[in-house]
Amino acid sequence: MHALKSLSVILLLGAATPALAAAYTPVSDAALGPILAKPKSAAEVKAVCDRRIAAIGSLQAKVEGMPLTTPPATLLAAYDDLYNLAVSAAFAEPPLIKDTNPDAAIRAAAEDCVQRTSQVVTRFQMSRPVYERLQAVERAGVAPELRYTLARQLDNFRRAGVDKDEATRKRIEALQNAITQTGIEFDRNINSDRSVVKAKPEELAGLPKDYLDRHKPGPDGLVEIRMTGAEITPVMQYADSAALRKRVQTAWLNRAFPANDAVLKRLFAQRAELASLLGYPVTRPTTSPTVWPAIRSAPGPSSSRSPPPPGPSARRRRRGCWRG
C-alpha cells in the first residue's frame, strides 16, 4: 500500500531508547485510545477513525511547526510519536476489521477508514516540513545507534516522492489513493466470494470427527466446503484424498476470479506509473496470457494471500521507530 507500511519492522530496541530522552511528552498512545478489537457498530468505527485522523493532523502540524533549531533528540521524539500515531491508525485495526468482521456495515466503515487513513499517511510521507526537520537532525548529528534508522527514514521520504516537483507530488498522491482503493476492491471481491467445493462423504476420510459432524451431506448427497480458512485448513491438513485437497486448493486460489482479473491489471498499471514517477525502471506486465492460469496451476500453501498488516496487538509492541 505504502512504503511507510514496511517501516514498522525498522526498530532499534533497548540501547536506542535512552538516546531519545528529551523534553517531549508523547501523546500518540492516548490519542489512539483503546484497541478497537470488536466494534459494536459502524458509527463506532467512524467515530474512532475521525478522532484518530484529527489527532494525526494536529500532531503533524505541531511537528511541522517545530523550529529547525530544536534539539535533535526532541525532534526525533516528536517525529517518533507522529510515526507511531499515523502507522498505528492506518495499519492496525481498520484492515483487520474490514476483512474479518461479520457485519457488512462495520466492514464498509472500516474500508472507508482504511482509505481515509491511507490518504493521511500519504500526506505525512509527502510532508516537506517533516522531511526538513529530519534533515536538520541529520546535520546536527545523532547518537551512533540512531544513525541507521534516521537514514532509513530519510530514504523512505525520498522514495515516497517528497523531493519531487509540485505537479509530480500531486500525481503521486492521487496514485497512492487510487492504489489503496484498488487494493480495497481486490480484497472485497475475495472476502465476498461464496464459492464452494462439493465432495462425496467418503472423500472426507481422515478429517476430525467434529469437522465431519459439522459437514453433513446435503439433498444431493454431497458435502459443501466453503472457501474460508476455518473450512479448508482441516481439509488441507488431514484429508486422505489428494484429489479433494487439489480441488480445494484450486478453488481457494481462484477466489474472486474472474472479477479480480481486471482489478489486478489496473493495480499493475497504477503501480507501474507510480514507480516511473519515482524514477524506477518499469517493465510493463504482459497482458496475455492472464496471470490467473498460472495461479490456478501453481502448487503452494493453503492460502494465496500475503499475511495481513500487523493486527491491533502489534501496535503497542511497535512503539514507533526508535522506541522499544
Q: What is the pLDDT along the chain (324 residues), one digit of tens a residue?
A: 444 443 333 333 233 344 455 688 999 999 999 999 899 999 999 999 999 999 999 999 999 999 999 999 999 999 999 999 999 999 999 999 999 999 999 999 999 999 999 999 999 999 999 999 999 999 998 888 889 999 999 999 999 999 999 999 999 999 999 999 999 999 999 989 999 999 999 999 999 999 999 999 999 999 999 999 899 999 999 999 999 999 999 999 999 999 999 999 999 999 999 999 999 988 765 554 444 443 333 333 333 333 333 333 333 334 444 433
Q: For the chain, what are the domain ranges?
A: 3-191, 196-253
SS3 58: helix
| Residue 243 φ/ψ, nearest 5 degrees | -65, -40
Top CATH class, 3-191 = mainly alpha
Asked whether 253 and 232 are in contact (CB, 8 A), the reply is: no
The cell for 281 is: 525502471
The cell for 223 is: 458435502
Bridge partner list, 223: 199
pLDDT in the model for residue 284: 66
pLDDT in the model for residue 245: 97
Q: How far apart are CA 111 and CA 93, in angstroms?
A: 11
Q: How far apart are CA 184 and CA 158, in angstroms?
A: 26
pLDDT in the model for residue 286: 53
Handedness of CA 261, 305, 113, 37 (dihedral sign): positive
Q: Does 289 sit behind a cis peptide bond, omega within 30 degrees of 0 on the bond before it? A: yes
Residue 60: closest CA among 136, 147, 120: 120
Q: Give every CB contact of residue 24 below 8 A, 6+ residues apart in sequence.
A: 74, 77, 78, 81
Dihedral of CA atoms 134, 136, 140, 146 in degrees, nearest 10, equals: 0
pLDDT in the model for residue 157: 95
**Count of other CB atoms within 10 angstroms of residue 269:** 14
From the centroid of its chain, how far is CA 221?
Answer: 42
pLDDT in the model for residue 37: 83
Bridge partner list, 197: 225
The cell for 157 is: 521520504
pLDDT in the model for residue 282: 84
pLDDT in the model for residue 291: 44
